[in-house]
């Protein structure tokens, strides 16, 4: 297995003391990306504290910024925007705000790579019915070979960032087909690791921050190899910059991608109660992190991240929220408890990919052709 300089550990070990955890956020020590000083703070938190008010200012957007964008695009086409809706609280609240607060006519868009539970699809169905908006449901198994290769390669590649490239590429293609000028998602403030303004040009998928360095390097190497070994993905975008280039050149769209949550000072608890009462939304029975809505493949992706790095992209997101006083550390730790995810728990997902628990065994990296 590629370890990117770290010794692989299982999720239960990663959360029980094998890796030290920052006393301020929830990032585990994972050199060379994350390290803890004598104070017990990670280098990311130290950098944040040193930046002070400047750090917050660079990540702040106002509702007036969003209003200007909406006014520019509203009423120009049949649909004012395309709203990516997974059925989770954040994307549902984003769709709700677009319809009820800003009086826009959206096309709701749900993508299913074969691992979205029926329960989640039904939640979206209830929401779009309550809001009276058109809904496009996209179901495909075209990514299964890619996901299978990620697991078998033992490359240290995390599934979710690769999946993000696929769904953003697909989203831009749909936006172009319907001539939709604006793409809306439920990305949180925690998914803007750099400037919130720059997040609009990276679709909240910026992999250049310090926390992502080893993960991004593994992904880059995997994408280079997958293009050589799996012809079906010859044209697959290798990073978000490639997605944006394809959007402009192949799909001929300059659609802007953003999240209302970056602009609105609305407390999470407040909008959860609103969507429960007004659009018949509810939490799914089971998910990770707790009180979120994610696909079944997400359990496997998170387990691999914890094994190989000691933290996942959710730890990065929630740590960003902690630093901005939008979540407490205790709340984040409860949400990120992964003790229930083990090999047996993931067996149905692995089976759907044509894999078994033996494919999770540690070992050296394997060729994609092997």
The reply to whether 193 falls in a domain is yes
Comparing CA positions, the residue from 242, 229, 37, 259 lying closest to residue 146 is 229
pTM of the predicted structure, to 2 decimals: 0.87
As a whole number, the mean pLDDT across the chain is: 87
Alpha-carbon distances, residue 268 vs 68, 106, 124, 300 (angstroms): 24, 22, 19, 27
What pLDDT is stored for residue 366 in this prediction?
83
The reply to whether 149 falls in a domain is yes
The reply to whether 280 falls in a domain is no
Per residue in 314-361, pLDDT tens?
999 999 999 989 899 999 999 999 999 999 999 999 999 999 999 998
**d(Cα 229, Cα 268) in Å, to the nearest integer?**
44
Comparing CA positions, the residue from 203, 225, 210 lying closest to residue 156 is 225
Strands (DSSP E) contained in the chain are: 81-84, 106-112, 134-139, 182-184, 256-258
Beta strands 182-184; 81-84: pairing state:
parallel
Structural domain including 69 reads 63-262
Mean pLDDT in residue range 185-211: 67
The reply to whether 78 falls in a domain is yes
Per residue in 119-164, pLDDT tens?
999 999 999 999 999 999 999 999 999 999 999 999 999 999 999 9
The reply to whether 181 falls in a domain is yes
Per residue in 248-291, pLDDT tens?
999 999 898 999 998 988 877 789 999 999 998 988 888 899 98
Mean pLDDT in residue range 95-100: 97
How many domains does the chain fold into? 1
The reply to whether 255 falls in a domain is yes
The reply to whether 199 falls in a domain is yes
- Beta-bridge partners for 183: 82, 257
Helix 213-229 vs helix 297-309: angle between axes, to the nearest 10 degrees? 120
> Can you list the alpha helix ranges (DSSP code H) found in 182-328?
196-199, 213-229, 240-249, 268-279, 297-309, 313-323
Query: Which distant-in-sequence residues (6+ apart) come within 8 Å of 54 by Cβ?
Result: none
The reply to whether 74 falls in a domain is yes
CATH number of domain containing 95: 3.40.50.620
């Amino acid at each position: 297995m590629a370890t990117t300089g770290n010794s692989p550990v299982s999720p239960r070990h990663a959360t029980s003391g094998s890796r030290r955890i920052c006393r301020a956020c929830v990032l585990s020590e994972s050199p060379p990306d994350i390290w803890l000083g004598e104070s017990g703070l990670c280098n990311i938190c130290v950098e944040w504290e040193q930046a002070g008010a400047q750090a917050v200012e660079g990540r702040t957007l106002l509702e007036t910024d969003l209003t200007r964008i909406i006014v520019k695009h509203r009423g120009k086409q049949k649909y004012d925007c395309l709203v990516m809706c997974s059925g989770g609280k954040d994307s549902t609240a984003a769709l709700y705000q677009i319809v009820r607060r800003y009086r826009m006519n959206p096309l709701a868009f749900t993508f299913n790579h074969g691992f979205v539970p029926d329960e989640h699809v039904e939640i979206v169905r209830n929401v779009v019915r309550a809001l009276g908006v058109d809904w496009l449901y996209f179901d495909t198994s075209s990514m299964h070979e890619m996901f299978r290769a990620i697991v078998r390669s033992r490359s240290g590649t995390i599934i979710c960032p690769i999946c993000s490239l696929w769904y953003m590429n697909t989203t831009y293609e749909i936006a172009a087909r319907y001539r939709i000028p604006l793409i809306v998602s439920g990305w949180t403030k925690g998914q803007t690791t750099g400037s919130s303004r720059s997040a609009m040009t990276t679709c909240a998928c910026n992999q250049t921050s310090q926390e992502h360095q080893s993960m991004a390097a593994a992904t880059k190497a995997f994408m280079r190899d997958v293009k050589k070994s799996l012809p079906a993905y010859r044209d697959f975008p290798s990073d978000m910059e490639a997605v944006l280039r394809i959007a402009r050149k192949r799909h001929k769209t300059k659609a802007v991608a953003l999240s209302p949550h970056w602009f609105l000072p609305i407390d999470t608890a407040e909008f959860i109660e609103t969507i429960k009462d007004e659009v018949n939304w509810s939490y799914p029975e089971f998910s990770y992190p707790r009180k979120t809505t994610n696909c079944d493949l997400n359990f496997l992706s998170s387990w691999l991240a914890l094994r190989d790095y000691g933290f996942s992209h959710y730890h990065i997101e929630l740590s960003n929220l902690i630093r901005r006083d939008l979540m407490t550390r205790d709340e984040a730790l409860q949400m990120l408890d992964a003790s229930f995810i083990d090999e047996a728990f993931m067996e149905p997902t692995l089976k759907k990919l044509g894999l078994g628990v033996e494919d999770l065994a540690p070992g050296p990296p394997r060729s994609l052709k092997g």
